[in-house]
Structure 1
Amino acid sequence: MSAEERQRLKALADQWAHSSPNAFDTCDNNVMDFKNILTGAHPIDISHAGDAENVLLTIASTDRFVASALIHHGVIPCSPISPSVAISIDALELYCVARLHNPHFSIQAYVKSICDLHGTIFHRYLSHQFLIAFNLYLHIHTHVNSLVDIALGRNAVDWHLKNTCPCCTYELEDDAPMSFKLLYAMDGNDSLKRVSHQLMGTNGDHTGPSIELPTTQRGPTDDENLCAGHWKNMDEDKTKKTWGVYDETGIFIAVCQHGFYLLIADMVQSGERAKYPLAVVAKLLNSFGAGLGGGYDIGCQFKTTLDNSILGPQARALHHSCLVGAFHGYAHQRICQLDHLATYVEGLGLEDLETCERTFSKSNALASTIRYASVFHRQQLISVYFQHNDEFDVYPNLRNFLYNHYRQALDILENSQINLSRVMQDLNITDVSMFNQWITDEKEYLQGLKSEPEQETLQMEYWQKLIHLAASQSNMDTMRSIWTSSTPSSTSFCASDAATTRRLKMTRRHALENFEKDLQVVQDLESKLRVTQCWIPSTPKWEDVGQLVAMRKYQHALDALEGLVVACIFELTKLNRSGTSYKLRKHIAKALQTRSSTIRSAFDRYNAAALSLMPPCRTLRWDEVIEYVFLADFNLLRDARQDISQRPWATPAAHQATDLYFKMCHAKEEVLHLNNKIRRLVTYIHNEEHYLQDCYTQLEPSCPALAHQISL
C-alpha cells in the first residue's frame, strides 16, 4: 500500500472515528510503545522477517485518536483501549482477497502459514486477535462504501437492488419490447447451514439455553425485518430431530438470469417453505413492478400458493409469471411442463432459469467455513462473498456471457432451419402454426384425463343414487315392521322398556330422514338429466348405465395408468435425445425411478379392475409396461376413452419437431434480447465512467480521500 493511499485511508478512519467517538479513547502522548506489533517486521509477517519485540509508532499532532494514528502507519489495532497488538493492513487485505477466492482458507490456516514461514510457534490467541482486526477492517470498508454511496447519490432504499445488473435494469428509451422486464431464478440451498450453539434439552434435543456470547454486531443488510425472529416453525417431529441441531438451515436466494444476486434470505429453523419465495416475490414486485418472470423448481405448485396468498391479486395485476427451469422441469408431469416449462413459454429466449444451480455450485465452498461460525460472522462471510462474486466474477464475465449466447442463438438459427424444413416435409406439414396447435391439443387431452365426461358422470351418479334410495326405502320398511309385544305377565314398566322404545323411535326417524334425503337427491338428478320416468331394473337404460358403472372403475384405472405412461414415454424421449447433458440424464432417470413406483400402483389397480369385469379384460405384465418406448407400443391406449396413438402430436418424431420449432423461436427471441442487453451494457459502461469522473472532479478539491475511493 502506497504512502498516499495510507494517508487517504487514515483520513477516512479519522472521519469514521468522529462518527463513533466511543470506539477508541483519545491519547495525549506524542509517542506510544506497542509491544508485539504484527507489522512487516514481526513473526506474523507477509513481506519481511524479523524478531522486533517493540515498535515505536509516532502520533502526529493532527492525530486525535489512536485509531487514526495506527491506520496512518498501516496497521489496525486488536483492542480499542490501550492496544498492544495490531495487524498490518496489507496482511488483512491479502487474507480478505485470498479467502474470497478460496472460502476454505480459514483465519487459523492463514495465521499458521505466516508463523511457519518465519519459524514462530502458533498460538490460538493469534487467530482471535487477527479476527478482531479483520472485523474492524471489513467494517471500515463497509463504512467507506456507504460514504461513497452518499457522495454518488446512491444511498436510496433498494438502489442497489434496482441497479444490480446493467443488462436487466439499465433500460434505454429505444429498447425493443420484451415479454419480461426481469427474468430471475430463486431456490433454497441447505449447504450454508449453521450449527445452533445450544445446550442439550431435557428431551435430548437442542432446545437448551444458548451458549453463544452476546454481541452487538450485526451483519450487513438493506432491510430490517421485524418478523425474522418469528420464522421458527419446525413443527414436525422428524424435522425437529433431523434439523434441530441447526439454527439457520440454509439460504434462499434470488439471482437474475446473468448471475447477479438480487436477494438473500436466511432459512431460520425450517426447511424450504413457501414463505421464503413469497417474501422474495413481494420484494421484487414492490421494487421492479410489472413484467417479472421467476423460475422455481416447484414453480407450478408455487403458482397455486401465490394465487391463494395475499400477493395473488398484485402478482396477477403486475403479470408475474411462475416458471420451471429446464433442468428441473423434466421431473414434473407433462401437463405441468406444457404450462410452466421454459421450453414452451413465449418470451424467454434461450434462458433455462437454472442460474441458482450454477451459483450454488460456487457458494457451496463456504459451507465448511460457516458451519460452526457465529450468527454475525456467517452473515458477514455470505454477504462479502456474494458482493465479491458479483464484482470480480459475474460482471467481468458478462461480455463472454452475452457473446456466447449470441453465438449459440445464431448457430441454432443456422442449423435448425434446415432440419426443421426436412422434418416438416417428412410429417407433411406446411404451416409452422401446426406446432402450437399440437401443444394445445396435447394440453386439452391431458386436462381431459382429470375428470370424466359430465353427462356420463350424472347418469352413473343417478343410477347409484337409485340403488341407495331402494336400500334406504327397504331399511325404512323394515324399521316400520318392528314392534315390541308385551303381555300382562311380561310387562314390568321398568326404565329399560322406556329406553328401548325411545331407541326404536329414533331408529325409525333416522331411516325416514335418510329415505327423504336420498329421494331429494334422486329428484335433483332427474331434473338435471331431464328424466321423465324413474328408471327401474327392467328398463334398458338401467342395464346400459349399470354396465357403464361397472366399466367406470376399470376406465378410471386405465386413465390413470395412461397418463403416467404417456408422460413417462415423453420423458424417456428427452432422456435418449442427443444433446441432453449427462447431469440432466441422471436427473431425469432419478425422477423416473421415483415415478415408476407410482406407475406400479396404477398398474396394480388396473389389473384388479380388469379382472372384476364380466367378461374380464386382459391384464398387463409389469415388464411389458415398463419397457414401453413409443406411444405406438402402448396398444392399451386404443382401449382408453380417447385413442391418441394415431394423433399427430403423439408420435416421437412430432414431439421432437415441436421442441425444435420452439427452440428456433427462442433463438430468435434471444437475438432480440441480446441486442437490447448489449446496447444497455455498452451505454452503462460509457455513462458510468463519465459520471464517476464528474463526481471525482467535484469532490477532489474538498475531500481528496473520498474522491480517491470514487476513482477506485
Structure 2
Amino acid sequence: MFRILQLCCPHLGIQPFVRALCDIHGVAPRPYLTTQFSIAFDVYLAIRANIDARVQVTLGRNTPNWRLKNTCPACMYKLEREAPIPLPFLATIDGNNSLKRFWRREREEFDADGKSVPGASKERLDNCVAPGDYYLPRGEVDKWSKEGLEDLMRGFVPGSEVEDEGEGCTERWQNMKEDMTAWAYGMYDETGIFPALCRHGFLLVVVDMVKSGELAKYGFAVTAYLLQVLGELGLGYDIGCKYGKMVRMHPALSTLAADNSFRVLIGAFHGHAHNRRCQLNNLTTYVSGMGLEDLEGCEKYFSQSNALAATTRYATAFHRQQAITTYMKHTDTVGAYQGLSLLLASKYRRALKIKGTLPLLRQTMASMGVESRSVFETWLEKEKAYLASLKKEPAHETLQMEYYQKLVNLCDHEERLDAIIGVEAPFIPAPQDAMYAQAAAQTQRMETQRCHAAEVHAKTLAAVQDLEIRLGGGPRWKPEDKEWMEAAMMLRNRRYQRALDELEGLVVARMFELSKVNMSDTGYKLRKHIAKALQARSKAVKSALETYNAAAAALSPPRTPLTWDQIVDYAFLSNFDPLREGREDIRDEPWAQPGGRLAMDQHYKLLRADEEIARLNLEIRRFVTYMRDEEAFLLHHERRLRSDGNEALAHQVWLQRRERARFNPVDMDRLVKLSKEPGFTASLLPGIGINKEREVPAREDDDVEMLDATPAAPPRHEGDGEDVDGGGDIDVDAVADTLEHFLRVTT
C-alpha cells in the first residue's frame, strides 16, 4: 500500500505513513517503528527486484542494455518494410537541481588562521546499490571529465574550427559558462540529476550530478552511451548550439557522432531565448525531418519528478537512488505507456490542424504577391546570409571607426595642450616673499600638466599615423570631409547596436524571472527574492531603454524610440531582431516585415506537419504491433511455465502481462477514434517486427484466450458461394477468416 501511495504521491514519506498506521491501530507512535518500517520496505523492494530479475532471465530479456533498446514501443519497435525517415530516433537531455541530497558532515572547524573548514563526512558506508540499469555509474561519467580527457588529448590533432552557430548565446545561459558550471555546492553531495528521455517521455538513462553544477561531462557520458547503444540520434538540449560544437570538437566523441549522423538542436521553449541566427540553424522549426517535435520532454518530466525532493533531500545515498529508480520505473510503465496513445493522438490532431491552415497561407501569399512557397526558402537563406554578415564587422570598417575615434581624441588633446600653453605663467615673487612657495607650486603644477598633455598628444599622434599607414595613406581627415562623416555614422550605429543588446538581455532576464514567480512549488522565500530582483531589474531596464532611445535618436535618419509598454509586451527575443540595422537597409525586405515573417514561419510549420504525420504513421503502427506481439509473447511463456509446473514464475509473468495489457483496450479505443477523423492516413493493422525475439509458435486457442469474446462467423445464406461476376465460387472460409481478423483488430 505504501509503495503504490508513494508512487502516486511522491510527497508522501515513511514517517507520516507510519504515524497514520499508528492512528489507525490506536497506538502511540514510536521512532523505532519508522526504522523498522524502513528496513522492511527495503527488504520488500529487494524481493521485488529479485523476482523481476528472475522473470527477465526466464523471458530471455537479461542481455546487456535490453531495457534501453526496448523502452519505447513507438520509437524502437521497428517493423519490416518501413519507409526511412531522417533522424529516426529523437531524445532530449537536461540537468535538474531539484533532487539534491544534503551531505552529512560534522560541524565546521576552524584552522590556525581562523578560517572555517568543512567538517569531516559522517555519511554511512552503504554498499547497497539501487536495482535496475537506469543509472550510469559515477566512474563511467568521470571518464568524461577534464581530468579523464588528458590521455585522449595526447596526440589529438583538431580539425578545422567549427563555426560557432550559437555565438552570442553564451552570455545568456549560465550552464555555458565555465566559472558557473565548475561552481561546487558546499552543502550537497548529489546536486541533482541529468536524464535523457525519448520524445514520448520514456526515460532512457540518468546520471547523478555530484558536488557540481551542470558540467559538460554529464552530457558527454549520456550522449556517448546513447550513440553506442541506439545509433543514429537527434538530441535536444537548451544549450544545443554550444553543446553541438563541443561534441564535434571532442577527441573521443567527434568520430562516434559523425558516424551516427548526430545532431543537437534547441527546444522550442528555450529556443526563443537564443539569438535569431542561432534559431535559424538550431530551432526545430527550420530543421528538415524534425516534424513538430518541441524537444522539451525534460521540462515536463521535471514538473512531476520534483515532488520527490521532499522525501530524498535528507535521505541516504542508497535510499535516494532507490526512490528515484522506483519512481522512474513506475512513470515508464504507468505514466508514459498509459499516455502513449493519447500523446500520439494529440500530436496527430495538432499536425492535421496545422495542415488545415494551408488555404489561409495561400490567401496571404496572394495578397503579398508570392507565387510559390519555394520563395520562403529563398527568404530564409537571405536572412541567414544577412545575419552572418553581421557576425563580424569588416576589418576596413573597424579601422575607419578606430581612425575616426583617434582623430577626435587628437583634436581634443590639441585643444587641451593649446589651452595649457596659452595660460600665462604666474608671477613669482622674490624668495624672501611669503607668496613665493605658493607661486612656485602653482608653476610646477602647470608644467606637469603641460608635460602630461604633450605626452598624451604625442601618443595619440603616433596612433593616428600608424592607422593612416594601415589605411593606405592619403590626407588626414577633417570634420568637413565625407570620410569623417561616414565613419561618425558607423560609430553611432555601433553604439546603437550595443545599447540594443543590453536592453535585449535585460528584457530576457525579466521575462524568465516573471515566469518563475508564478511557477508552482516555488517557495515563499524564492518568490520574495525574485520579486526584489524584479524591482531592481525594472529600474535597469528603464535605464537601458533611455540609453537605447538616445542612441536611436543619434542615427540619421533617427529610429523610432521604444516605449515602456512596448518592452513589456515583447514576448520573444525575435521581436528585437527587426530593430537591428546593418551595413544595408533591410526594412523594405519582405522577410523583415511582420507579415512576411509570419507567412514564412507558417510555411515551415506546414512542412514540419507533413513530416510529423509521416513519423506518426510509423509510430502508431509500431505501437499496435507491439501490443499484439507483447501480449502473445507473455501469454506463451505463461502457458509454458504452467505446463512445466512452475506456477510461481507463471504467476509473475501473468502479473507482468497484466501490468501493461490493462491499458491496451483504452489505447486501441483512442486510436480507432483517431482513425475516423478526416486526414488520417496511418494503418491500424499490425505489421511484422524486425526484432524476432517476440515470435512464438501459433496455437489454435491463442485468439480465444487473448480476447474476451471473438465474433462468430456470419451465417451462410443461399447464393453465398457464387461469384457475382460469374468467374467461379468464392472461398467462403477465406472471406470468413478475413472478416474475423478485421473484427479482432477492431475489438
Q: TM-score range by the shorter chain?
A: 0.5 to 0.7
Q: Is the contact between residue 254 and residue 356 of structure 1 (CA under 8 Å) also seen in structure 2? A: yes
Pick the aligned partner of 1:537 from 476, 480, 485.
476
**Residue 705, structure 1, aligned to residue 643, structure 2:** no
Distance 1:243 1:347, change over 3 A: same
Q: AA paired with 1:150?
A: V
- In 2, Cα distance between equivalents of 1:238 and 1:461: 34
Q: Is the contact between residue 273 and residue 508 of structure 2 (CA under 8 Å) also seen in structure 1? A: no
- In 2, Cα distance between equivalents of 1:635 and 1:156: 52
Identity %: 39
- In 2, Cα distance between equivalents of 1:406 and 1:684: 19
Pick the aligned partner of 2:246 from 305, 313, 318.
305
Q: Is the contact between residue 569 and residue 629 of structure 1 (CA under 8 Å) also seen in structure 2? A: no
Report the aligned-residue RMSD.
4.5
- Counterpart of 1:96 in structure 2 is 3
Q: Secondary structure at the match of 1:535?
A: coil
Q: Is the contact between residue 200 and residue 206 of structure 1 (CA under 8 Å) also seen in structure 2? A: no
> Residues 82-140 of structure 1, C-alpha deviation per residue, up to 9 Å, x if partnerless?
xxxxxxxxxxxx11111111112222222222221121222111111111111111111
- Counterpart of 1:379 in structure 2 is 321
**Residue 554, structure 1, aligned to residue 495, structure 2:** no
Q: Is the contact between residue 334 and residue 567 of structure 1 (CA under 8 Å) also seen in structure 2? A: no
- In 2, Cα distance between equivalents of 1:660 and 1:309: 37
Pick the aligned partner of 2:283 from 318, 327, 341.
341
- Counterpart of 2:90 in structure 1 is 183
Q: Secondary structure at the match of 2:596?
A: helix
Distance 1:129 1:518, change over 3 A: same
TM-score, normalised to structure 1's length?
Answer: 0.67
Q: Is the contact between residue 446 and residue 563 of structure 1 (CA under 8 Å) also seen in structure 2? A: no
- In 1, Cα distance between equivalents of 2:74 and 2:182: 43
- Counterpart of 2:130 in structure 1 is 219
**Residue 350, structure 1, aligned to residue 292, structure 2:** yes
- In 2, Cα distance between equivalents of 1:395 and 1:337: 32
Distance 1:600 1:163, change over 3 A: farther
Q: AA paired with 1:298?
A: I
How much has 1:259 moved relative to structure 2? 0.6
- In 1, Cα distance between equivalents of 2:629 and 2:230: 22
**Residue 445, structure 1, aligned to residue 386, structure 2:** yes
Q: AA paired with 1:380?
A: Q
- In 2, Cα distance between equivalents of 1:113 and 1:650: 64
- In 2, Cα distance between equivalents of 1:453 and 1:238: 33
Distance 1:239 1:667, change over 3 A: closer
- Counterpart of 1:155 in structure 2 is 62
Q: Secondary structure at the match of 1:412?
A: helix
Q: Secondary structure at the match of 2:633?
A: helix
Q: Mind listing any 5+ residue stretches in structure 1 that lack a counterpart?
A: 1-93, 469-514, 573-581, 584-589
- In 2, Cα distance between equivalents of 1:662 and 1:635: 19
Q: AA paired with 2:307?
A: A
- In 2, Cα distance between equivalents of 1:371 and 1:279: 25
How much has 1:256 moved relative to structure 2? 0.7
How much has 1:458 moved relative to structure 2? 6.3
Q: Secondary structure at the match of 2:57?
A: helix
Q: Mind listing any 5+ residue stretches in structure 2 that lack a counterpart?
A: 148-174, 410-460, 511-517, 520-532, 656-747
More RCO (CA 8 Å, sep 6+): 2
- In 2, Cα distance between equivalents of 1:455 and 1:241: 41
**Residue 173, structure 1, aligned to residue 115, structure 2:** no
- In 1, Cα distance between equivalents of 2:504 and 2:183: 40
**Residue 369, structure 1, aligned to residue 311, structure 2:** yes
> Equivalent residues in 2 for 1:138-287 (5 A)?
138-202=45-109, 207-220=118-131, 222=133, 223-226=136-139, 243-287=185-229
Q: AA paired with 1:417?
A: L
Q: Secondary structure at the match of 2:200?
A: coil
- Counterpart of 1:681 in structure 2 is 623
TM-score, normalised to structure 2's length?
Answer: 0.64
- In 2, Cα distance between equivalents of 1:166 and 1:685: 9
- In 2, Cα distance between equivalents of 1:285 and 1:199: 43
How much has 1:316 moved relative to structure 2? 3.2
Distance 1:603 1:332, change over 3 A: farther
Distance 1:269 1:123, change over 3 A: same
Distance 1:348 1:145, change over 3 A: same
Q: AA paired with 2:139?
A: L
Distance 1:108 1:640, change over 3 A: closer
How much has 1:262 moved relative to structure 2? 0.7
Alignment coverage as a number of residue pairs: 549
- In 2, Cα distance between equivalents of 1:649 and 1:118: 73
Distance 1:636 1:309, change over 3 A: closer
How much has 1:317 moved relative to structure 2? 3.5
Pick the aligned partner of 1:646 from 575, 580, 588.
588
Q: Secondary structure at the match of 1:251?
A: strand
Distance 1:130 1:671, change over 3 A: same
- Counterpart of 1:495 in structure 2 is none
